[in-house]
Homo-oligomer: A and B are copies of this chain.
Amino acid sequence: MTESVLDYMTRLGRAAREASRVIGRASTAQKNRALQAAASALDSARAELVAANEQDLAAGRANGLDAAMLERLALTPARIDGMIVGLRQVASLPDPVGAIRDMSYRPSGIQVGKMRVPLGVVGIIYESRPNVTIDAASLCLKSGNATILRGGSEAIHSNRAIATCIQRGLAEAGLPAAVVQVVDTTDRAAVGALISMPEYVDIIVPRGGRGLIERVSRDAKVPVIKHLDGICHVFVDAGADLAKAQRIAFNAKTYRYGICGAMETLLVDQSVAASFLPPMAAQFREKGVELRGCPRTRDLIEAVPASEEDWNTEYLAAILSIRVVDGLDEAIEHINQHGSHHTDAIVTEQQGHARRFVAEVDSASVMVNAPTCFADGFEYGLGAEIGISTDKIHARGPVGLEGLTCEKYVVIGDGQLRGQEPV
């Protein structure tokens, strides 16, 4: 490229802003046509996708990427199937754009309501997984946004091949190519430029490790939908059905250790601790989960002493901290103080306790008699998710189509004037 990275990114930004006006007013049918055509294009391009991915994998191996990174990078036939299914699923979701709610007459005679509209241009910054390209592009397209995708440099050939399929879909639906743009340079300055163009980019979604998210949030001149820690709790209440509690806690921890909705701390009411903890601990021990407990826990089961730091740690591993609490109040207090406001659950048969837990736990997802590992866009019915927000404004929890939109006011009158008698 003879063009500087900044000029290149500015060009993408300007094109995205222009394309956002077209996709913002595109019909639902037109958007769905693009998604379906992109799915067909992926299906026809399996050989090209695998070949491009092989280039990335070979380069990755040569550059000494570890096994986990190579695994994330791989476009297996199953993952290609997943992308195709994902596109068709997003096409089948209801279109949020244009929905008008709460339209009502005011004393002046005007009607006021709210209409759901796209945000405009969404910038996505992600790491190795190339299938994120499809998740992000499809959700942004369906919600009427233009998008600029900046994937990991290790996946650039795969992302280019995927982008070609998306372009085919856009062209078939008569939509401009700039609705979805994949940044075609591995220069890291591209990220700095992308997060500093409020005139062209309305929101940034970083998807990746904590380091990436913190860096982007710190330096961005554009709002960021952040996803930080998931320190999730399950609280086993007094009088809980202990068999159900054990199933829920076991699933919450072991469904997958590495997901943000995995339970990291188990809180147990003192009145049930003696009956609940020994069989629960045996099941975890058999699975190979290391247990760290408070003194009262260690009176009942064998466990490593938990330090203060344990209550504030997202292990993402086969480690669980356990604390015996004096009741609902102490459980809520612990969660609001030590948790990360991500996802927390109560196991209880007491309706009043469920009601208080739901109202008073300040987390993006609060659950009753369900494991925290359910915190996921697919499980919630959003289709794919663009991320899980731990912010407190705009969108909390799994972010799907609705989180990629906002609402504007619509006012309909017939010549009413302000400060004068209604006509």
Contact = CB atoms under 8 A, between A and B. Distances in A.
A259 to B, nearest CB: 10
Given A251-B418, A370-B413, A104 B408 contact: no
Interface stretch (A172-180, A185-193, A320-328, A356-364): A356-364
Interface residues of A, number: 68
Nearest to A374: B418
B373 A408 contact: no
A103 to B, nearest CB: 11
B202 A410 contact: no
A391 B223 CA distance: 10
A301 interface: no
Contacts of A244: 414-415
A358 B410 contact: yes
Interface in A399-423: 406-420
A9 to B, nearest CB: 20
A365 B415 contact: no
Contacts of A112: 379-381
Contacts of A363: 408
A380 B368 contact: no
B411 A381 contact: no
Contacts of A413: 367-370, 374
A40 interface: no
Contacts of A380: 106, 112, 409, 411
10 closest residue pairs by CB, A with B: A370-B413, A367-B411, A394-B394, A251-B417, A365-B409, A244-B415, A393-B394, A397-B409, A369-B413, A373-B418
Most chain B CB within 10 A, of A380, A395, A409, is at A409
Given A374-B418, A393-B394, A419-B255, A368 B412 contact: yes
A37 interface: no
A392 interface: yes
A119 B393 contact: yes
